[in-house]
Structure 1
Amino acid sequence: LALSDLIQKYFVSPTLFRVIRLARIGRVLRLIRGAKGIRTLLFALMMSLPALFNIGLLLFLVMFIYSIFGMSNFAYVKKESGIDDMFNFETFGNSIICLFEITTSAGWDGLLNPILNSGPPDCDPTLENPGTSVRGDCGNPSIGICFFCSYIIISFLIVVNMYIAIILENFNVATEESSEPLGEDDFEMFYETWEKFDPDATQFIAYSRLSDFVDTLQEPLRIAKPNKIKLITLDLPMVPGDKIHCLDILFALTKEVLGDSGEMDALKETMEEKFMAANPSKVSYEPITTTLKRKHEEVCAIKIQRAYRRHLLQRTVKQASYMYRHSQDGSGDGGPEKEGLIANTMSKMYGHENGNSSVQSTGEEKGSTGDSGPSIGLTPISPSDAALPPSPSPGQTVRPGVKESLV
């Protein structure tokens, strides 16, 4: 409270600073598509501020020179018409006020009339002025006319019109820039959206959030969903942790809008300079891959997995077919060479069944030769219960080692 009272007493009211904060409402205009003309005008005024400041200094220099000249020649002119206690040339401050009034081309005739008085009865040349040796309250018509005419030409017809010329020129430039695909507002909106996805200002964003980020952007930088394939084709560099840098995304989106034009290199350098000026801290940046290469790696991994599964399936079918034929024929020939993990897996899956088949075949052969005693894994039967095989027909031969089916 003490600081507020001190500022209000000796400087200006703090309420004035709160009013100045209302200027931030101009940022809202960027979100309104229908306010494009107003945004262009405000942008032109912002561009004109440096030049307008220089012209203001030039105008102040002209007013300073003419105020000193006016004090030297018209300080004791008779107070009548437009010259009074406020508008006169007695002090430097009052002279500046008079010249500012003349700059607006208003009321200069009232100031000139007393200066045109050259003698009685309009003025008294012998009048004593207290505190000075100068006598009289008459003016100098010739000097007064030259003074006012030259000042009006310089200040009103030249300097003030320079204000208008600069504003119109910058307005034309702003209009041309607004017709281009990208402008300053687009980049500012990009960084405002980036702040929402990177609140800690790490300058990086996770690749998994890139789709949501570019979908949130405003046109023309926006890439609406579904955008996975489009983002892959942008070939964005990625750092460890599957993260992407802010500038890489901005460059890629800008190139997508403008294409491969000659202005891209200059625009890229400009954006880098502005980004480094706003973010002086240097973050380690060592890309290890890109989005396109990462997609190639994923596709290659999927193809390798499919080929390996197909190979496993073929080996399984081949081994199962061999085991089935071995169990049917009962031959003792060795199977194909077993290799590595696949062979061990096949042995665990079919080894026990293969042993039972061999035992069963041996038992059947013993039963057919009339050996008494049960075979392993077979139920003993009496000779009367056993079915006799049919005798071969004339001309039919039985191959050794091959069992005929029992009827």
Structure 2
Amino acid sequence: AGVVLADIIEKYFVSPTLFRVIRLARIGRILRLIRGAKGIRTLLFALMMSLPALFNIGLLLFLVMFIYAIFGMANFAYVKKQGGIDDMFNFETFGNSMICLFQITTSAGWDNLLSPILNNSPEECDPDIPHIGTNTRGNCGNPSVGITFFVTYIIISFLIVVNMYIAIILENFSVATEESTEPLSEDDFEMFYEVWEKFDPEATQFIEYSKLSDFADTLSEPLRIAKPNKIKLISMDLPMVSGDKIHCLDILFAFTKRVLGESGEMDALKQQMEEKFMMANPSKISYEPITTTLRRKQEEVSALIIQRAYRRHLMRRQLKRASLLYRQINMSDSAKYDGDSVPEDEGLVACMIQGNYGPEITQTLSATSSPPSYDSVTRATSELFQALIPQNTDLSETLPSPDRDRQSFL
């Protein structure tokens, strides 16, 4: 089927070889990767910008040539073939007339075409020679008409129309040069989308937050944010949707704002880019952000602070219970310890501690997956003190005062 289709295209349309030759123009894309080829890119960009205007001027030039070709056929069709007028360059047919006018437009050898038209003497031409099929006689030229014809055509075509080509190219080159000095250009946005295709091969328009750091580091300057870049990306406050994903346009806006800064041009550029993106991708309207990168980081930091405070509270409570139990065991009967500093046994925190770290729970949990139980802490503490204190030593002499020790722990 492919061979038959290729034969049909080659026979009735255009040869596929021509399309292969046209594809060679894609080699110009490599110029974007060469920093030293910035001037060449500017020239090509100026030429691409000039194509619509050059096409319009080409139509105007063709109209002028068409009118003058008809006029030349009516007045110089039977001029004697001499000088620059021969079997190819003459005004006998429309095609030959267009060739002569194109030669005049390039200002190459137009004087050789004019000299036979200026000859009207009987010595150079025959004013009575008949022409078969017409009532016209003679092969002499008309000097007055010829001079007017050539002068007006050269002024219109060469001095006006052709110079308009040059003027348009120079103007667009000036515009392209000014744009090349700006921080961002069309090439930068194209490179952004090319890198985006690698991170979003299914064209979902979203990228996972975990891949944002690698994506920002893969971009080319000036949009690139080199690693380490997580703090910079978080500070951009990018909107996030369900699933910790970020939209392509939101990332592009943030990176562009980082390069251009806050300005009126940035607002206008953002609105223009969003309108174009909405027209090409209407699905952007269907999602609503639920959080941002900055808010997500704030939530994570807040959770860490709460967890650390809760762990410190558990540690203090276990130490206070261990200290209290030790004193109750080792103090004399005459010095009773009051219960003002006993850790709480009621309330939300106490219920959570008993539920998560109670004696029954801690006996079943592994030591690597949960904090030590109350019994193990008190037992280890008591054994440690007993090992440090000699057996024949009076505890009342070696231990500090209960009141002073209680104040130090509190």
TM bin (shorter chain): 0.7 to 0.9
Question: Which range moves more in the overlay, 56-65 or 7-16?
Answer: 7-16
Q: What displacement does 1:116 show?
A: 1.1
For these two proteins, the number of residue pairs brought into alignment is 354
What is the aligned-residue identity percentage?
A: 77
Report what 2:220 is aligned to.
Answer: 218
State the match for 1:31 in structure 2. Answer: 33
CA contact (8 A) 1:55 1:163 kept: yes
Cα offset, 1:247, TM superposition: 0.8
| CA distance in 2 between partners of 1:336 and 1:19 (Å) | 86
Relative to structure 1, the CA distance from residue 350 to residue 297 in structure 2 (aligned partners, 3 Å threshold; closer, same or farther) is: closer
Q: Which amino acid in the other structure matches residue 122 of structure 1? A: E
Hey, what does 2:237 align to over in structure 1?
Answer: 235
TM alignment of 1:8-407, pairs within 5 A: 13-282=15-284, 284-329=286-331, 338-339=345-346, 340-343=351-354, 345=357
Question: Does the aligned pair in 2 maintain the 1:103–1:156 contact within 8 Å?
Answer: yes
Following superposition, the deviation at residue 276 of structure 1 comes to 3.4
Secondary structure, in 3 states, of the residue corresponding to 2:246? Answer: strand
1:10-39 CA deviation, whole Å, 9 max, x = no partner? Answer: 665433322211111110000001111111
Task: Tell me the distance in 2 between the aligned counterparts of 1:267 and 1:353.
Answer: 65
Q: Is the 8 A contact 2:89 2:99 kept in 1?
A: yes
The 3 A distance-change label for structure 1 pair 326 and 350 is: farther
The CA deviation string for residues 264-285 of structure 1, in whole angstroms up to 9 with x for no partner, is 0111122223333443554632
Q: Secondary structure at the match of 2:298?
A: helix
Residues 300-348 of structure 1: per-residue CA shift (max 9 Å, x gap): 0000101111111122222223333333357799876623243464565
Greater C-alpha radius of gyration: 1
Deviates more, 1:340-349 or 1:81-90: 340-349
Are the structure 2 counterparts of residues 217 and 16 from structure 1 closer, same or farther at C-alpha, using a change threshold of 3 Å?
same
Change in CA separation of 1:65 and 1:287 when aligned onto 2, cut-off 3 Å: same
Q: Distance in 2 between matches of 1:33 and 1:301?
A: 47
TM-score normalised over the length of structure 2:
0.80
Seen in structure 2, the aligned counterparts of structure 1 residues 74 and 277 have a Cα distance that, compared at 3 Å, is farther
> Relative to structure 1, is the Cα distance of residues 244 and 95 closer, same or farther in structure 2, using a 3 angstrom cutoff?
same
In 1, Cα distance between the equivalents of 2:58 and 2:283?
A: 38
* Aligned partners of 1:238 and 1:244 also within 8 Å: yes
- Cα distance, 1:180 vs. partner? 0.9
Higher mean C-alpha deviation, range 20-29 or range 87-96: 87-96
Tell me, yes or no, if the aligned pair for 1:323 and 1:350 is still in contact at 8 Å.
no
Equivalent AA in structure 2 for residue 195 of structure 1: E
Moved more, 267-276 or 144-153: 267-276
Secondary structure of residue in 2 paired with 1:205: strand
Take 1:153 and 1:3, find their aligned partners in 2: how far apart are those partners?
51
The structure-2 alpha-carbon separation of the partners of 1:87 and 1:136, relative to structure 1 and needing over 3 Å to count, comes to same
Q: CA deviation at 1:6?
A: 5.8
> Mean Cα displacement is larger for which, 129-138 or 40-49?
129-138
Q: Identify if the C-alpha distance between structure 1 residues 250 and 332 changes in structure 2 by more than 3 Å, giving closer, same or farther.
A: closer
SS of corresponding position for 1:29? helix
Unaligned 5+ residue runs, structure 1? 355-407
* Counterpart Cα distance in 2 of 1:252 and 1:258: 10
**TM-score normalised according to structure 1 size:** 0.81
Shift of 1:244: 0.6
What displacement does 1:90 show? Answer: 1.5
Query: 1 or 2, which has the higher helix percentage?
Result: 2
